[in-house]
Amino acid sequence: MKRSGLVFGVMVVGIALLLWAGWHNLRERRLAMQQAQENHVVLVPEKAGSAAQTDSQSPEAEAMQMRGKVAPGFTLTTLDGKKVSLSDYKGRPVLVNFWATWCGPCKVEMPWFEEFRKQYAAQGFEILGLADDVDAGKDAIAKVAQKTGVTYPILLTDGKIQKAYGGPDGMDYLPMSFYVDKNGVIVEETAGLGSKDEIEAHIKKIVASGATAAAGGQ
């Protein structure tokens, strides 16, 4: 009886260990999937009903429509009612970033933007954060801006600006970033969340390329 009880106890422990290992592996896989999703592009709400994107339809491949073109001008309103135009920053490198309050990856990169804004302030670098979901309300938009610690201008989109930069259907992905050099030309265009190093590399490019082009034109 003692031996059979011992065998039974060992079996119970073995089964328990197998169950724990299976649960642990499942938890690890879920965490990995969640991390991958957070680092992936995010579809805007109005596109949620469209066909799912395949691996061959990468946002990087689709997000090159504006590169090399002059950045479309705009005049939008800040959260406190002040009008801001892209032309106000003529001769300066500017990052035009489309984001939304519901967009997780947007909130990841916004503190990075603020850090780089301070780091490259001496070169005249500025960031304009264009809130895509104006219907969320100014309070909700301001709350996200405050929580992420950004102090650069947050502008309220008007529906037209999304089409000017994203095409007839507006923005397909968020976040969307357009790196504009000192000559007003879009040097880089990105869809979705990139790495911090990639973002800084793009910023360095617009800080340098506009200056080079300007020097060559003198």
For 180-198, what is each residue's pLDDT tens digit? Answer: 999 999 999 999 999 999 9
The active-site residue out of 63, 106, 193, 207 is 106
The whole-model pTM stands at 0.71
User: Looking at 128-142, 174-188, 201-215, which range is the least confident one?
Assistant: 201-215
Question: Cβ contacts of residue 90 below 8 Å, gap of 6+?
Answer: 184
* Domain 61-209 CATH (choose: 3.40.50.300, 3.40.50.10320, 3.40.30.10, 3.50.50.60): 3.40.30.10
CB 203 within 8 A of CB 120: yes
pLDDT digits (tens, 9 = 90+) for 132-173: 999 999 999 999 999 999 999 999 999 999 999 988 778 888
Residue 103 catalytic?
no
Closest listed residue to residue 119, CA positions, set 156, 147, 93: 93
At position 214, the amino acid (one-letter code) is: A
Which among 110, 155, 113 is positioned nearest to 131, based on CA atoms? 155
**What burial class does residue 122 get, using C-beta atoms within 10 Å of its C-beta: 0-12 exposed, 13-18 middle, 19+ buried?**
exposed
Domain edges within the chain: 61-209
pLDDT score at 168: 77
Highest mean predicted confidence (pLDDT) among 38-52, 107-121, 168-182:
107-121
